[in-house]
Amino acid sequence: MKSPLFSGIQPTGTIHIGNYCGAIRNWVRLLDTYDGIFCIVDYHALTVAHDVSTTRQRVVDAARVNIAAGLDPEKCVLFVQSRVPEHTELAWILNTVTPMGDLSRMTQFKEKSKQHEDNINAGLFSYPVLQAADILLYKAGAVPVGEDQIQHIELTREVARKFNARFGEVFPEPAHLVPKEGARILGLDGKAKMSKSLGNYVGLLESPEETWKKLAPAVTDENRKRRSDPGNPEICNLYSLHRNFSDDETIATVDRECRVAGIGCVDCKKMLHRSLSATLEPIRERASALEATPGKVEEILDHGAKQAKARAERTMEEVRRAIGVR
Ligand code: TYM
């Protein structure tokens, strides 16, 4: 039997190439080895400002992009968090074994509290507990994520340990799996992590024209002021994108020619644009094919929710017995 693997993505904003390199591409690679369970975490998204009128569509769009990027629903379970209420039930129980001190040290909580000063709600604070519930509900041993989520998976291990110590061995301690390349993609500003909320991203479904508009002004090695200045690929964000999207030959060419000013930044960007298009084009095509088949994504999500719920119910039976309420 394959061992369970869980991961999730929020349906807020545009899914971008950072999400793809740090998470989705890795999920797809792991489909044959693991029993994959993937979740669109709509209840997590409630912790920040929330547009009710677009929510349903954003959830379906997030699922569609993931499927188009290679998350084959024949090979894994794909579902929406709010359709399996056991997630919030388990989160409540886990709240009672999670130290407040640990939650207050979470980097994501500190960052989001700064970004949303007018709305620092209890949900934002206990966000990682719901994330722990997502993972532990399926007794997942592996959680593929980008670097920014490692701290939450470490906390999940702590929560599992605390629960097991208090109520008996129920949960395995999950390991995080981060990709060797692409665990932390920087935005095109070259400064902050690529993020839906910072507007420094390339969307997974963007057209070649839109992608070029963003790449053309992107920040490169700032010491390269003139075309004739040699550059240093190791400190250039575009080079790290090449390492994620280009073939070995292109990567070697950029590495060599940048250092001797054999190519300029515009040449380098054009090469990157070609590599990006080669990855994004098939994803865009599959996404529009899915859009042209109304109801298809909803059908996949309905089926996924049934599969996930059956498994979640089994764990909750065990949890309720362990804590003595049944
Ligand atoms: P979210 O929606 O912010 O991001 C989804 C995945 O994409 C990764 N990621 C990145 N990787 C590399 N470079 C970047 N710039 C970048 N930006 C995002 C994230 O690390 C993540 O793996 N809390 C989670 C969602 C979640 C979850 C879970 C994940 C809820 N429950 C259970 C794993 C297991 C989040 O906000 O991801």
pLDDT digit string (tens) for 248-271? 999 999 999 999 999 999 999 999
pLDDT band at 198 (very low <50, low <70, confident <90, very high): confident
pLDDT digit string (tens) for 24-43? 999 999 999 999 999 999 99
Instruction: With H, G, I as helix, E, B as strand and everything else as coil, classify residue 144.
Output: strand
Q: 153 exposed, middle or buried (CB, 10 Å; 0-12, 13-18, 19+)?
A: buried
The structure's pTM equals 0.97
- Which domains can be identified in the chain, with CATH numbers? 4-184+294-323 (3.40.50.620), 208-288 (1.10.240.10)
What would the mean pLDDT of 110-123 be, rounded to a whole number? Answer: 94
Closest residue by Cα to residue 7 from 181, 197, 177, 202 = 177
- Is residue 21 in contact with ligand 1, taking CB distance under 6 Å? yes
Catalytic residue among 196, 270, 296, 309: 196
- Is residue 178 in contact with ligand 1, taking CB distance under 6 Å? no
- Is residue 309 part of the annotated active site? The answer reads no
- Chain center to CA of 84: 20
- Is residue 112 part of the annotated active site? The answer reads yes
Distance, CA 27 to ligand 1 centroid (Å)?
12
Q: In one letter, which amino acid is 238?
A: L
Rg of the chain taking only CA atoms, in angstroms: 21
Distance, CA 78 to ligand 1 centroid (Å)?
16
Taking CB atoms within 8 Å and a gap of at least 24, the contacts of 52-58 are: 55/11, 58/11, 58/12
pLDDT band at 13 (very low <50, low <70, confident <90, very high): confident
What would the mean pLDDT of 174-194 be, rounded to a whole number? Answer: 96
pLDDT band at 197 (very low <50, low <70, confident <90, very high): confident
Nearest protein CA to atom 35 of ligand 1, as residue: 9
